[in-house]
């Protein structure tokens, strides 16, 4: 639930003279997060690593990175059997050079599939499609073995009503494709933490409950799932969140959780009050993560507003990140930084 008192306090700040505006501390997010045993990350557009200002901020502020697109199936296997790891390797090298861990994103999704697969899928038998999926997971995880901290093994498996999403995997392979994907990934890299990643599970509701029940079953069946990723794509128009409650339920199953794609969109140009709400929502999601010992990382989706996916997908909305178009930190950055500085979460119980 949004901390209404905090929101009221911040809202009050906006009507104060500029002198009271919150100031960023000089300490980078990754340094502040260390004392709580939390990794703070960002989704990286690998093409932008050649921009020195972008690369510098990415290295300074974050202790984990996620490829925004570079590890997706359409990118790594544009033609069947012909792999192109160049963009993903570049990010892994960058991460290693800057002491960062990598969240691999993602192995199985319904979107950004290669054209050859989308074209072929309708005429394939279940066994043929299953073999293609197994090979993809095995080859990709093997390519990066030892270099990936967390893999988003299956991405967005549920639809907004809480049903398993109707996609090529469910149509041909049924629900077992999810457990199989985790088993294949585990076989290829037993040390990587394997995640189910989804959006819209930050508030208690149909989707969140269905996904929890499903994960509980996977755990009971001994499927090698290590965690659940909360994308946390939030909206200033809808400030309700139950993140801490929902994350705690998963933690009680003995698995980790992570905030994997945090951003908070608003209608543009973003009003003062919406900026305040965005700040509060970033702070609250960080506080929720810090309150749950098993919340191992907090990742932002895109560094700056110029790079954000939001305006393309939600015309008329934006302002969803911590940095403006000139890579200057916004008040939302300060709010997140201050929430992070309050600390608490300690090291996760399991070393994997
Ligand atoms: O591949 C073409 C390229 O050939 C062309 O030159 C370029 C010109 O615009 O477009 C490229 O495709 C874009 C692709 O990203 C790769 O850059 C698509 O237009 C664009 O729509 C696509 O968007 C990505 C989106 O996933 C696709 O679903 C976003 O960058 C990425 O941020 C977004 O990330 C997802 C997560 O993976 C899962 N959770 C939701 C999140 C936001 O949608």
Distance 69 CA to ligand 1 centre (A): 7
Q: Which residues line ligand 1 (CB under 6 A)?
A: 68-69, 111-112, 155, 231, 261, 309, 312
Q: What is the 3-state secondary structure (H, E, C) of 43-79?
A: EECHHHHHCHHHHHHHHHHCCEEEECCCCCHHHHCCE
Q: CB neighbours (10 Å) of residue 271? A: 14
Tell me, rounded to whole angstroms, the distance of Cα 268 from its chain centroid.
24
pLDDT at 152 over 50: yes
Distance 199 CA to ligand 1 centre (A): 16
pTM: 0.93
CA-closest candidate to residue 3, choices 276, 195, 196, 319: 276
3-state percent breakdown (helix, strand, coil) of the chain, nearest 5? 45, 20, 35
Q: What are phi and psi of 166, to 5 degrees?
A: -75, 110
Burial class (CB in 10 A: 0-12, 13-18, 19+), 147: middle
pLDDT for 10 equals 41
CA-closest candidate to residue 231, choices 200, 204, 265: 200
Q: Is 119 helix (H, G, I), strand (E, B) or coil?
A: helix
Concerning whether 211 is annotated as a catalytic residue, the answer is no
Nearest atom (ligand 1) to Cα of 231: 39
For a substitution probing ligand 1, which of 152, 258, 309 has the most ligand atoms within 8 Å of its CB? 309
Nearest atom (ligand 1) to Cα of 111: 28
For residue 120, name the pLDDT band (cuts at 50, 70, 90): very high
Distance 276 CA to ligand 1 centre (A): 28
pLDDT for 13 equals 38
For residue 26, name the pLDDT band (cuts at 50, 70, 90): confident
Distance 252 CA to ligand 1 centre (A): 34
Q: CB neighbours (10 Å) of residue 99? A: 9
Hey, whose CA ends up nearest to atom 4 of ligand 1? 75
Hey, whose CA ends up nearest to atom 11 of ligand 1? 69
Nearest atom (ligand 1) to Cα of 105: 37
| Share above pLDDT 90 across residues of the chain, in percent, rounded to a whole number | 89
pLDDT for 199 equals 98
Beta pairing, strands 317-318 & 227-230: unpaired
Mean pLDDT on 196-204: 96
Compute the distance between CA of residue 185 and CA of residue 95 in angstroms, rounded to an integer.
22
Q: For the chain, what is the mean pLDDT?
A: 93
CA-closest candidate to residue 171, choices 129, 215, 224: 129
CA-closest candidate to residue 179, choices 208, 218, 150: 218
Mean pLDDT on 195-221: 97
pLDDT for 140 equals 98
Mean pLDDT on 107-126: 97
Compute the distance between CA of residue 272 and CA of residue 263 in angstroms, rounded to an integer.
17
pLDDT for 65 equals 98
Compute the distance between CA of residue 88 and CA of residue 68 in angstroms, rounded to an integer.
10
pLDDT at 202 over 90: yes
For residue 46, name the pLDDT band (cuts at 50, 70, 90): very high
User: From the candidates 68, 77, 231, 261, which is the catalytic residue?
Assistant: 261
Q: Cα–Cα distances in Å, from 45 out to 110, 188, 345?
A: 21, 26, 29
CA-closest candidate to residue 179, choices 130, 123, 244, 126: 130
What does the longest C-alpha to C-alpha distance in the chain come to? Answer: 67
CATH number for the segment(s) 26-343: 3.20.20.80
Mean pLDDT on 257-283: 98
Length of the chain, please? 352
pLDDT at 21 over 80: no
pLDDT for 346 equals 66
Compute the distance between CA of residue 132 and CA of residue 92 in angstroms, rounded to an integer.
25
Tokens of 53: 């200002």
CA-closest candidate to residue 133, choices 114, 159, 146: 114
Of residues 50 and 25, which shows the higher confidence score? 50
pLDDT at 345 over 80: no
User: From the candidates 68, 77, 140, 156, which is the catalytic residue?
Assistant: 156
Q: CB neighbours (10 Å) of residue 183? A: 18
Q: Cα–Cα distances in Å, from 221 out to 150, 214, 290?
A: 21, 11, 29
Concerning whether 261 is annotated as a catalytic residue, the answer is yes
């Amino acid at each position: 639930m949004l901390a209404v008192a905090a929101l009221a306090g911040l809202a009050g700040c906006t009507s104060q003279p500029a002198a009271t505006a919150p100031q960023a501390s000089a300490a980078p997010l990754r340094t502040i997060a260390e004392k709580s045993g939390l990794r703070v990350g960002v989704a990286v557009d690998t093409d932008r690593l050649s921009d020195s200002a972008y690369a510098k901020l990415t290295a300074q502020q974050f202790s984990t990175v996620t490829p925004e697109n570079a590890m997706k199936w359409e990118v790594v296997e544009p033609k069947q059997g012909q792999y192109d790891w160049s963009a993903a390797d570049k990010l892994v090298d960058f991460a290693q050079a800057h002491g960062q861990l990598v969240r691999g994103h993602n192995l199985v999704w319904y979107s950004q599939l290669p054209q050859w697969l989308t074209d072929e899928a309708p005429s394939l038998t279940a066994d043929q499609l299953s073999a293609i999926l197994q090979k993809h997971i095995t080859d990709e995880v093997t390519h990066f073995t030892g270099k990936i901290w967390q893999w988003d093994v299956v991405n967005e498996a549920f639809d907004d009503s809480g049903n398993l999403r109707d996609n090529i995997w469910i149509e041909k392979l049924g629900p077992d494709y999810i457990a199989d994907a985790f088993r294949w990934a585990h076989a290829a890299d037993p040390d990587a933490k394997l995640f189910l990643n989804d959006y819209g599970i930050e508030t208690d509701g149909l989707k969140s409950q269905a996904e929890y029940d499903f994960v509980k079953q996977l755990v009971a069946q001994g499927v090698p799932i290590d965690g659940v990723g909360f994308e946390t794509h939030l909206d200033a128009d809808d400030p309700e969140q139950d993140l801490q409650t929902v994350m705690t339920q998963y933690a009680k199953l003995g698995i980790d959780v992570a905030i994997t794609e945090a951003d908070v969109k608003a209608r543009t140009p973003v009003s003062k009050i919406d900026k305040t709400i965005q700040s509060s929502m970033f702070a609250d999601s960080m506080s929720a993560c810090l309150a749950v010992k098993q919340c191992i990382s907090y990742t932002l989706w895109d560094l700056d507003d110029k790079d954000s996916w939001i305006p393309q997908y939600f015309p008329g909305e934006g302002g969803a990140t911590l940095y403006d178009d000139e890579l200057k930190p916004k008040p939302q950055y300060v709010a997140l930084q201050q929430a992070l500085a309050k600390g608490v979460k300690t090291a996760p119980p399991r070393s994997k």
